[in-house]
Chains A and B, each alone.
Chain A
Amino acid sequence: MHVYIYDEYLNKTKYNRAINRLEIRLTDLGLNGKIIRLGGIKNIKGTIQNEIKLGAKTIIAVGNNQTVNKIIGAIIDTEIYGDFQKKTLLGLVPIGDDNSIAASFGIKNIDDACNILLARRVEKIDLGLVGNYYFLNQASIQSLGTTIEIDDYSLEMTERGEVRIINLLSDQKETIKSNPHDGKLDILIRTRKRDESLITVKNLKISNPQEKLIVDGVVEINTPVQIGIMKDKVSVIVGKDRLFE
């Protein structure tokens, strides 16, 4: 059984056309299933967990990065995670902005998403963890004033720019390679002077008293905070144009 989780913001009338197109396409492909609209639900975690208990084979996040992260947050490290890992796949239909996770999976639009759900190409991928918050793509912060502690050493940054802690790349033009199956995070630091640093780690602690860490482009987290990685934690449905091997 497919369960489609529609994010709250899709209640806005400007998304009606997109939703109609999605539902028609899913019906055409025989992929229709149960729809849950997060708009009217207070206990999101309980609702998603209940669907997995009832035997959902695919949970599909309809929305953006935050929708995916809400679903992952409701599943990982809970009592139903065992069931989820054995029986359930995570799919994604991007609608609106902030859809870098869909881009990583090779899903560009609604039509793409439907075809990819039909093809059911599955990959197990790692999951990043910032404090108690899970992420698929990356966490980022302004570089100036940021300190990173790793094992037995620390990094200090002296120029303005951006620090990215990457699990899964979201930009097709990116020159570095990041593997979401290796159980490691890539720290990529780029300054305005086009200076580049790259370090691969399993765990780190990041701090910047002036800036917040932004997770998957949507959630702001105060530092200092620990960042780690959990290997092959989620089975996802991806397109053939995904940005990883």
Chain B
Amino acid sequence: MFSKENKLEKFKDAETIIGASIKVKGNFQGQGNIIIEGALEGSLKTEANLFIGDRAKVVASIESKDAVINGELRGNVKARGYLALGGTAKIFGDIQYTELSVEKGAVINGQLSMITEVERRGDSRKAEAKNEENEK
């Protein structure tokens, strides 16, 4: 799950890449896969998947479908799908997930809770409605 190959396989078609030398401030919203290797302050939301690299420093609440976190995150996480925390991940905030894996060495300082099927359905309906709105 945490190998470089896995990362590339899942995120090779990333719509957005924030490199290590970039600092993002504000509310970032995307439709496609997002890779964060740099710094982000504010909030981040995507309908697709999110990868946070081991050098990344994120001070934000984040929401995505699947998420792989290897860097430092200060804020709440909501992964509507699968959440993978790598051995270098440091999370200071509450975590919501549907499926979870945690590698040895990961630091978690917050509450863990599983998203129920009812919540997940509600979220996907909202996402569908939003997509339709965007298409219009």
Contacts and interface: CB of A to CB of B under 8 A. Distances in A.
B18 A197 contact: yes
Contact of A197 (B17, B25, B29): B17
Contact of A155 (B14, B20, B22): B22
Interface string A181-205: 0000000010101011111100000
A197 B22 contact: yes
B24 A155 contact: yes
B129 to A, nearest CB: 20
A35 B23 CA distance: 51
Interface residues of A, number: 20
Ranked nearest first, the 10 interchain pairs of A and B with the lowest CB-CB distance are A153-B26, A197-B19, A159-B21, A195-B19, A152-B27, A156-B23, A198-B17, A195-B21, A191-B21, A195-B20
Given A195-B37, A197-B38, A153 B19 contact: no
Given A153-B27, A153-B28, A158 B21 contact: yes
Nearest to A187: B16
Q: Interface SS of chain A: helix, strand, loop or mixed?
A: strand
Given A157-B21, A199-B17, A200-B16, 14 more contacts: A143-B21, A152-B26, A153-B24, A153-B27, A153-B42, A158-B23, A161-B21, A189-B21, A191-B19, A195-B37, A197-B17, A197-B18, A198-B16, A198-B17
A222 interface: no
B123 interface: no
A153 B39 CA distance: 13
Interface string A79-109: 0000000000000000000000000000000
9 contacts: A152-B26, A152-B27, A153-B25, A155-B22, A157-B21, A158-B21, A158-B22, A195-B20, A196-B19
Contact of A157 (B17, B22, B29): B22
Interface of B: 14-29, 37-38, 42
Contacts of A158: 21-23
A154 interface: yes
A189 B28 contact: no
Contacts of A159: 21
B22 A154 contact: no
A158 B24 CA distance: 11
A198 B19 CA distance: 8
Contacts of B16: 198-200
Contacts of B27: 152-153
Contacts of A155: 22-24
A158 B16 CA distance: 19
A19 B37 CA distance: 51
A158 B28 CA distance: 19
Contacts of A156: 22-23, 25
A132 B30 CA distance: 29
A125 B20 CA distance: 33
A154 B18 CA distance: 12
A151 B29 CA distance: 9
B26 A154 contact: yes
A155 B19 CA distance: 11
A193 B28 CA distance: 25
B39 to A, nearest CB: 9
A158 B37 CA distance: 14
Contacts of B22: 155-158, 189, 197
Contacts of A191: 19, 21
A157 B15 CA distance: 19
Contacts of B42: 153
A152 B45 CA distance: 12
